[in-house]
Amino acid sequence: MTDTLAFLFPGQGSQQVGMLADYVAEPVVADTLAEASDVLRLDLLSLFQNGPADKLNQTAITQPALLVASVALWRLWASRTSVRPKFLAGHSLGEYSALVCAGSIAFADAVSLVNKRGLYMQEAVAAGEGAMAAVLGLDDQVVLEACKAVAEGQVVEAANFNAPGQVVIAGHVAAVELAVERAKAEGARKAILLPVSVPSHCALMKPAAQKLADELTALSVSVPSIPVLHNVSADVRADEEGIRQHLVAQLYSPVRWVETITTLVESQVTHFVECGPGKVLAGLNKRIARRIAVTPVASLSAMDSLLVMLEKGNNQE
Question: Which of 140, 146, 185 is closest to 161 using CA atoms?
Answer: 140
- Long-range contacts of the stretch 52-57 (C-beta < 8 A, 24+): 52/17, 53/16, 53/17, 56/15, 56/16, 56/17, 57/15
User: Is 172 designated active site?
Assistant: no
Instruction: Tell whether the torsion through CA atoms of 229, 233, 239 and 245 is positive or negative.
Output: negative
Cross-strand pairs, 294: 272
Polymer length of the chain? 317
User: Is 92 designated active site?
Assistant: yes
What one-character DSSP code corresponds to residue 160? Answer: E
Q: Which amino acid is at 171?
A: G
Catalytic residue among 14, 37, 70, 92: 92
Which of helix, strand or coil describes residue 170? strand
Helices 300-315 and 59-80 cross at an angle (nearest 10°) of 40
Catalytic residue among 201, 230, 246, 271: 201
Instruction: Tell whether the torsion through CA atoms of 174, 176, 180 and 186 is positive or negative.
Output: positive
Cis omega (within 30 of 0) for bond into 10:
no
Whole-number Å distance between alpha carbons of 133 and 192:
5
The CA-CA-CA angle for residues 8, 14, 17, to 5°, reads 135
Query: Is the distance from CB of 59 to CB of 121 less than 8 angstroms?
Result: yes
Residues known to be catalytic: 92, 201
